[in-house]
Amino acid sequence: MASRLLRRSGVAVGLVSEMLSWKADLVLQVGVGEAHEEADVLIAEWGKENVRFIGCEPHPRIYQSIKDRYPGTLYNVAISDRVGDAVIHDKQRHIDGSSLYSIPDQPDCPQYTVKTTTLDTLFPNPEGEHILLWLDCENSEFPALCGGEGFLERVEVINIESSAKPNGEGWISPSVIYHWLAARGFYLQWCHTFRVHEAKYDSIYVHSHLFDPYCCC
* 54-72 pLDDT, tens digit each: 999 999 999 999 999 999 9
DSSP code of residue 172: P
**pLDDT of 4 higher than 80:** no
Identify the pLDDT of residue 196.
87
| pLDDT value for 165 | 79
Note the pLDDT tens digit of each residue in 145-173.
Answer: 999 999 999 999 999 998 887 777 788 88
81-117 per-position pLDDT tens digit: 999 999 999 998 889 989 999 887 888 899 999 999 9
Would the pLDDT of 77 be above 70?
A: yes
Question: What is the Cα–Cα distance from 105 to 111, expressed in whole angstroms?
Answer: 14
Give the residue with greater pLDDT, 203 vs 198: 203
Give the pLDDT confidence score for residue 105 in this predicted structure.
Answer: 81
* CA neighbor of 111 nearest in space, from 136, 135, 90: 90
Task: Kindly list the distances between the CA atom of residue 45 and the CA atoms of 38, 115, 134, 189, 201, in Å, as whole numbers in the listed order.
Answer: 11, 33, 16, 20, 22
- Mean residue pLDDT across the chain: 93
Residue 108 CB neighbours (<10 A):
7
What pLDDT, on the 0 to 100 scale, is given for residue 181?
A: 98
Q: Give yes or no for a contact between 86 and 139, defined as CB atoms under 8 angstroms apart.
A: no
Instruction: Determine the pLDDT at residue 170.
Output: 80
Whether residue 25 contacts residue 215, with contact meaning beta carbons closer than 8 Å, is answered with no
Whether the predicted pLDDT of 32 surpasses 60: yes
Backbone angles phi, psi at 163, to 5 degrees: -130, 120
- Integer Cα distance of 159 and 165 in angstroms: 19
pTM: 0.95
